[in-house]
Amino acid sequence: MAALTLLPIIACVGFVFIVLGLLFLFYAVSIYNALIVLKNNLGKAWSNIDVLLKQRSDLIPNLVETVKGYMKHEQYTLEKITKLRSSIISYDSPGKIAKPSEAMSGLLKNLFMVSEKYPDLKANQNFLKLQEQLTAIENQIADRREFYNNSVLLYNTRIHSLPDSIVAMILGMKDNEYFKATTEEKELVKVDMSNESNKETVVK
């Protein structure tokens, strides 16, 4: 009789555990899906930047070829741009690409400013077209870099927050790299560009 009396209680307890187990499973699946969505969005955000980086790299040889005949005193800048292009192409992660990419952006900006001193170059339609295309690409990279870095921040924060971190650990999810140079790297770029300007001044 006692056993029969306990059966409903055992059944209720079992039912409660089953419901709790299903709720936990549902919650774990929802966390998994949310993390996968964030990861996929991050991949898409980087792909958008990568496309622009490739477009910029494809235009650089044409720019150097067009400019070198006019800007005799800017050869060091052109050589530096060519080397940075090679570095960007050889790297495969946002963190490594960030420093040469930002240096490239700075050199292109300086090059276009210096081009004002070369009327014949400014009259070259091919140069003007390249300048317009590269400036547009630089603006798009800046916009998409901000979006990508915000996505990285959201993703990295999520995988370190409980209970998401448990699911992230099981899935082997790790921090993603930001697409930006560190403060130290930015300072090195500034110093390098300053030295570059000094070299060109000496040549002149």
For residue 22, the model assigns a pLDDT of 81
Q: How many angstroms separate the Cα of 85 from the Cα of each of 67, 98, 101, 172?
A: 16, 12, 8, 33
Domain ranges of the chain: 37-203
> Domain 37-203 falls in which CATH fold?
de novo design (two linked rop proteins) (1.20.1440)
> Tokens standing for 176?
């993603």
For residue 6, the model assigns a pLDDT of 60
For residue 138, the model assigns a pLDDT of 95
For residue 4, the model assigns a pLDDT of 53
Are 168 and 45 a contacting pair, CB within 8 Å?
Answer: no
Are 122 and 128 a contacting pair, CB within 8 Å?
Answer: yes
Determine which of 19-28, 37-46, 51-60, 73-82 has the lowest per-residue pLDDT on average.
19-28
Rounded to whole angstroms, the Cα distance separating 104 from 87 reads: 10
Rounded to whole angstroms, the Cα distance separating 66 from 74 reads: 13
**One-letter amino acid of 183:** T
- Each residue of 68-126: pLDDT tens digit? 888 877 888 899 999 999 999 999 899 999 999 999 999 999 999 999 889 999 899 99
- pLDDT exceeds 90 at position 53: yes
Averaged pLDDT score across all residues of the chain: 84
The H-assigned helical ranges of 115-174 are: 119-122, 125-159, 164-171
Q: Which residue has the tokens 């039912």?
A: 15
Q: Which residue has the tokens 């390249």?
A: 130
